[in-house]
Amino acid sequence: MDRKELETTASLAMLQLHEDEVDTLTDAVTTMLDYFSLMEDVDISGLAPTTHAFIAQESVRDDIIAEVPEVEPKELLSRGPEHDEDHFIIPNVL
Amino acid sequence: MAIDTKWSEILNSSENKGAYIKEVQDLDDEIGAFLQFDPDLGAALTTGGSENSLKGLPFAVKDNIAVKDFNLTCGSKILETFSSPYSATAVKRLLEAGAIPVGKVNLDEFGMGSATTNSALRKTVNPWNPDRVPGGSSGGSAAAVAAGMVPFSLGSDTGGSVRQPANFCGVYGLKPTYGAVSRYGLVAYASSLECIGILSESVDMMERVYETIKGSDPKDQTSRDASGEIPDLHHETMTIGVLESTEGLDEEVAQAYEEAINQCKSLGWNILPVTIDSLNYVVPVYYTIAAAEASANLARYTGVRYGHRSAQSTDVQSMTRETREEGFGSEVKSRIILGTYVLRSGFQDQYYVRAQKIRTRIKMDLAEVYEKVDLLMMPVFPTQAFPATGDSLTPFQQKLADRYTITANLAGLPAMSVPTGVKNGLPVGVQFMAPEFCETHLFKAAKAYEAIYRPQRASKSLHLIQEVR
């Protein structure tokens, strides 16, 4: 992976990179991607992808309130960096 | 049980409790297992305990598992100031059984690492030798048990993060069947692979804790009860599959594996050498899937809802980018970038989808093996606890070394690391791996082995509780 590709990918991941870490990260990611090429040796024809360890039957229940949430919304809000009574506050978007 | 009585004597008298707190604090100045130690806060959360429960037993919780009102840092600067508004289901079940969470323990940031050296918040050393790492990512959980500060702890195992530190510190480590223990309250890293696991100083303690925390939970759709009957052993005598070839093991680890095979024979068990071809591909498959899932799961840290927000931000975009830059360590960043890359349009089939298909092959290979054997016995890690400094194992080599542990995560199977001895002053051990929901078979094997070798406590351990098990 070259530097430009790394920066594009980091940008997609909403990650600002600082100059002094770009080389180290490029090396680390490139080493892993090179190693991943080992997977090309495996014949995957006829194999379905496994998305989860076990595909359990669909987990459904009656559409009734089973449990009242133990945590008040205000309590959750209070753990964010900036908030008022009912909202998280973020910088202006306009 | 002697150990329960001893702990209840310690925690029920204010004088003994004071001595316990003081001794743990002093010892932990050297070991660095805890990120937060507050037995009184934990005691206030405990809700009950009947007979045969875990009443009065203290435990430590890896700091990526929620305990109400305790911090939940994940070993990361991004969550350094965050505390949890609720408790994980596994923790809640322990509280209902009367156990007391005494604190939160160190880990590699978000569970990403094999030595606890990726924690942004504290250094943890191995209680057997302060120049060695405790393993990771549940290094604090392992060190706290090995040092006798708690009889058990909770960890999480995404690719070996319970079994490997347990192995490095000479305690038992269980990664349950995927879904056997609810993940509600476990901070998400790689959702299709990770489980809450247990580290303990005895098999009996392990079994009691597992029986308490297991079972389906409406708050985790992937949690399940064992469906139907647990399969019986194939034969009256247990049949253990062992690897025909184990490349790349350090001499002590290879020796320990051979010795464990002989011990199994002496227990009257059948030994069947097996070959699992797909073992050669588990590492790239695992790191592709784990990084992909991590990149999605860690997208939630934007500086809006939790923990840290960059002071540099002028708009929402820069707030998100700068918060993540400042808050995440380099291993986390590299996995986020790797995961984002393998999921990018144009590369998905080459990496992510291919890895998922090989994962299917791995599961098929294992199912075939379990037609012939009851348990597989494998090494845990190719080395013993390695030095904290120097170039003994680079981050890339540490990832390659995960090959024996990650198989259980990819296939969702239960596995337990068992201490089998001490070599050169450091613990060695093996792991047993069972078909899904056959944890009882793991406990059976581990108990038989425990009768041959009873793990010692580490050289640095709590005086108050010494000689009591």
Residue-averaged pLDDT of chain B: 94
Q: Quote the minimal CA–CA distance from B3 to chain A in Å.
A: 34
What residues of B are in contact with residue A7 (Cβ under 8 Å)? none
The partner residue sitting opposite B337, judged by closest CB among A16, A29, A49, is A29
pLDDT above 90 as % of chain B: 85
- Give me the domains of chain B, ranges plus CATH numbers: 2-233+413-452 (3.90.1300.10), 283-356 (no CATH)
pLDDT of A67 > 80? The answer is: no
> When comparing pLDDT for A20 and B134, which is higher?
B134
> Is the distance from CB of B143 to CB of B385 less than 8 angstroms?
no
Q: For chain A, how many structural domains are there in total?
A: 1
- Selected residue of A3, A14, A21, A68 to mutate for chain B interface (largest B Cβ count, 10 A): A14
Residue contact A47–B358, C-beta within 8 A = yes
How is residue B448 written in tokens? 């038989």
Instruction: Identify any residues that bridge with B151 across adjacent strands, giving them in sequence order.
Output: none
Is A72 inside any structural domain? yes
**Residue predicted with more confidence, B391 or B218:** B218
What residues contact residue B85 under an 8 Å CB cut-off, 6+ apart? Answer: A71, A75, A76, A79, B68
| SS3 of residue A31 by DSSP | helix
pLDDT digits (tens, 9 = 90+) for B226-272: 866 677 776 678 999 999 999 899 999 999 999 999 999 999 999 99
At residue B188, φ and ψ (nearest 5 deg) are -70, 135
Q: Is residue A10 part of a domain?
A: yes
**A85 part of a folded domain:** no
Residue B290: strand, helix, or coil: helix
pLDDT digits (tens, 9 = 90+) for B373-412: 999 999 999 999 999 886 688 889 999 999 999 999 999 9
Q: Answer yes or no: is pLDDT of A82 > 80.
A: yes
Q: Which amino acid is at A81?
A: P
| B87, B92, B358, best to mutate vs chain A, most A CBs in 10 Å | B358
Say how many C-beta atoms besides its own lie within 10 A of residue A67's C-beta: 7
A63 inside domain: yes
- Calpha distance B354→A40 (Å, rounded): 8
User: In terms of residue numbers, what domain contains A33?
Assistant: 3-41+53-77
Q: Give the active site residues of B.
A: 62, 137, 161
Residues B149-181 have pLDDT tens digits of: 999 999 999 999 999 999 999 999 999 999 999
Residue B417 pLDDT:
98
Domain presence at residue A48: no
The answer to whether residue B352 scores a pLDDT higher than 60 is yes
- The 10s digit of each residue's pLDDT in B70-88 is 999 999 999 999 999 999 9
Q: What is the ipTM of this complex?
A: 0.94
Tokens of B136: 């990771």
Size of interface A-B (CB pairs under 8 A): 173
In a domain, A15, yes or no: yes
Query: Does residue A18 belong to any structural domain of this protein?
Result: yes
CA distance B274 to B284: 22
Cβ distance A76 to B85 less than 8 Å, yes or no, reads yes
pLDDT band at B54 (very low <50, low <70, confident <90, very high): very high
> What's the average model confidence in pLDDT over B283-289?
97
A82 and B179 within 8 Å at the Cβ level: the answer is: no
How far is the C-alpha of B385 from the C-alpha of B137, rounded, in Å?
13
pLDDT at B390: 67
Contact across the interface for B358 and A39, Cβ inside 8 Å: yes
Residue A28 included in any domain: yes
For the segment B317-332, what is each residue's pLDDT rounded down to a tens digit? 999 999 999 999 999 9
